[in-house]
Amino acid sequence: MKSLHIHYFQHVTFEGLGCIEEWALQNGHSLSATKFYESPLLPDLQSIDWLIVMGGPMSINDEAKYPWLKPEKEFIKKAINENKVVIGICLGAQLIADVLGEDVYPNEYKEIGWFPIQLTEQGKQSFIFSGSAETSIVFCWHGDTFDLPQNSKLLFYNECCKNQAFVYKEKVLGLQFHLEVTKLSVEQLMKHGEKELIKGEYIQTSNQIQAGIQNIANCNKMMFKILNRLTEL
């Protein structure tokens, strides 16, 4: 496996790389970051191999409140056009959908907690997810969704949210859910998003979320599989 320089975009203090950092360091890859809550300084696109765009509680439409969203979107679009590997998680997936020309809007339901997702037929045939389980329990914390980008393939869905994951031109991956979660990151999300834990059809209680911690190991295993396969491109 060749050594990669991976740059990531982080939008809030409590949504970092999670287990992705462990994978990168174990495999000898270098990491750098733009932490928009500290500074909007963007890297030289030619100096990076991969771009990972993390989650956050803001909307992709909040450019007036978060002016760095506009240059962030422009950078993501350039990275895709330059044929970089780009991975978007939750807000990151929504940003990718946006720069690919699709609408991002509130889902009918908020989805918070541990929920099953189903692999599509295209997902079963995809390079990234072939051989994966048809159903997986993953961690979700989102209120928005997006239309599927043109020329992309839908990989996962569930009854709450139709478009849970997609791949575009093999190198651009959008995940609405969180496979990078750690025990600490789940606790941080619960702490900072406590007001969102209200009664809802797809909103679990804090006790239910805590009880689902056992699913972290499988989520991380899925994340490592994705990362390993993308290094083969």
**Residues 61, 65: Cα–Cα separation, whole Å:** 9
| Domain hosting residue 45, numbered range | 5-230
Residue 23 near residue 223, CB atoms below 8 Å: yes
Q: What is the pTM of this model?
A: 0.98
Residue 2 has pLDDT above 90, yes or no: no
126-135 pLDDT, tens digit each: 999 999 999 9
111-147 pLDDT, tens digit each: 999 999 999 999 999 999 999 999 999 999 999 999 9
Mean local confidence (pLDDT), 87-96: 98
Token output for 1:
């496996």
Average pLDDT value for the chain:
97
Domain count, the chain: 1
pLDDT reported for residue 228: 97
Residue 65 has pLDDT above 90, yes or no: yes
Residue 123 near residue 132, CB atoms below 8 Å: yes
Residue 1 has pLDDT above 90, yes or no: no
Query: The domain that contains 207 carries what CATH number?
Result: 3.40.50.880
- Of 157, 158, 160, 156, nearest to 144 (Cα)? 160
Beta bridge partners of 112: 141, 203
